[in-house]
Amino acid sequence: MLSVHDLQVRYGRSVAALHGVDLDVSPDGVLAVLGSNGAGKSTLLRAISGTLRMHRGSIAGGEVRYEDKPLNQLDPARIVRLGVVGVPEGRQVFARMTVEENLRAGGIGSRSPEGRAAARRRVDELFPVLAERAKQRAGLLSGGEQQMLAIGRALMSGPRLLLLDEPSLGLAPKVVEQIGGVVREIHAQGTAVVLVEQNAVMALRVAEHAIVLEVGKVALAGTTAELAASEDVQRLYLGGHAESQATAEAEAETARTRSIGRRLSRWAG
Ligand code: ATP
């Protein structure tokens, strides 16, 4: 469905943000994109959604193809009409508009009233809380609800491929879990997803394939099971290092206690 080949992206003349990125997303797939700050995750989504120019960036080489059409030269509105819709980082909702108005704005580009009504039913089922708060101003929703509204608004245009940029950012663990469940459900309903995340635990649970970006390059790629088993991913993203350190400290503490116990019993007896 989506194929990115040897993608090079620059900001202005001096910043080379992506150097030869390759990836594929199948029509029924969820691809997680992991990586630390500044690795190029948002840049990758901007290149796919055609929004690089808004950030003074450009594709300097390589290709983004969606259903075998090159996207490189297309403007963002055309890319949305093809079915590729992004939810940018930072829960960007229209804060002064109501939930209802935000959702209606998301459906403006939809061609048929039936399509809009079906998309609305899907959003109401996925996010009952948005239906309950339809008349409330979006700026008054909680962080998690705003994230749900941002995703709901994107779903209103009936995407076939959804690009999510760090949907879990700044949310409590329980809400992150809910968002993960929603992404899984969206995928089960037949929408492919590219999920950029710093929360690797959630992303690897939800996706089937993943890549790890490091300084603008794909450092690791594979199934989520393969990546979750990788020592690098465990150490850098899953807290494996912290866990093994904690285990080592606990074992050392037990050994110290035993040794004191042995010395005390020798002294006593
Ligand atoms: P984060 O997790 O912090 O959002 P990221 O992995 O999404 O990071 P990007 O935001 O894609 O990383 O940034 C990749 C590189 O491009 C970084 O070196 C960043 O400083 C640079 N960059 C991003 N946006 C711009 C811009 N508008 N102008 C110049 N450089 C930029």
| DSSP tally for the chain: helices H, then strands E | 11, 10
pLDDT of residue 14: 85
Å from CA of 252 to ligand 1 middle: 42
pLDDT of residue 70: 94
Q: Would you call 56 helix, strand, or coil by DSSP?
A: coil
CA 49 to chain centre: 14
pLDDT of residue 124: 93
97 assigned to some structural domain: no
Task: Supply 98's token pair.
Answer: 């109501």
Show the ligand 1 pocket: residues with CB < 6 angstroms.
Answer: 11, 15, 17, 35, 37-43, 55-56
Q: What DSSP character marks residue 98? A: B
Element of type H or E holding 109: none
**Into how many domains does the chain fold?**
1
78 assigned to some structural domain: yes
The closest-lying atom of ligand 1 relative to the alpha carbon of residue 35 is: 6
29 assigned to some structural domain: yes
Q: Would you call 245 helix, strand, or coil by DSSP?
A: helix
CATH number of the domain where residue 212 is located: 3.40.50.300
CA dist 22 and 8 (Å) reads 10
235 assigned to some structural domain: yes
Enter the pTM of the model: 0.86
**pLDDT tens, position by position, 96-107:** 999 999 999 988
36 assigned to some structural domain: yes
60 assigned to some structural domain: yes
CA dist 136 and 140 (Å) reads 7
**pLDDT tens, position by position, 108-166:** 877 788 888 899 999 999 999 999 999 999 999 999 999 999 999 999 999 999 999 99
pLDDT of residue 268: 59
pLDDT of residue 114: 87
Residue 71: is its pLDDT beyond 90? yes
Å from CA of 17 to ligand 1 middle: 7
Q: What percent of the chain has pLDDT over 70?
A: 89
**pLDDT tens, position by position, 192-232:** 999 999 899 999 999 999 999 999 999 999 999 999 888 88
Residue 238: is its pLDDT beyond 80? no
CB 146 within 8 A of CB 91: yes
Residue 6: is its pLDDT beyond 70? yes
pLDDT of residue 7: 97
Ligand 1 binding pocket mutation candidate from 43, 49, 164 (most atoms within 8 A of CB): 43
CA dist 41 and 43 (Å) reads 5
Pairing of strands 161-165, 192-196: parallel
Residue 245: is its pLDDT beyond 90? no
Residue 269: is its pLDDT beyond 90? no
Residue 256: is its pLDDT beyond 50? yes
The closest-lying atom of ligand 1 relative to the alpha carbon of residue 213 is: 6
Q: Which amino acid is at 153?
A: R
Q: What DSSP character marks residue 198? A: S
Q: What percent of the chain has pLDDT over 90?
A: 72
10 assigned to some structural domain: yes
Ligand 1 binding pocket mutation candidate from 14, 33, 36, 41 (most atoms within 8 A of CB): 41
Q: What are the b/e assignments for 168-206, b being 16+ CB within 10 Å?
A: bbebeeebbebbbebbeebbeeebbbbbbbbbbbbbbbb
Element of type H or E holding 63: strand 57-66
Domain residues for the domain of 225 are: 2-83+159-268
102 assigned to some structural domain: no
pLDDT of residue 241: 42
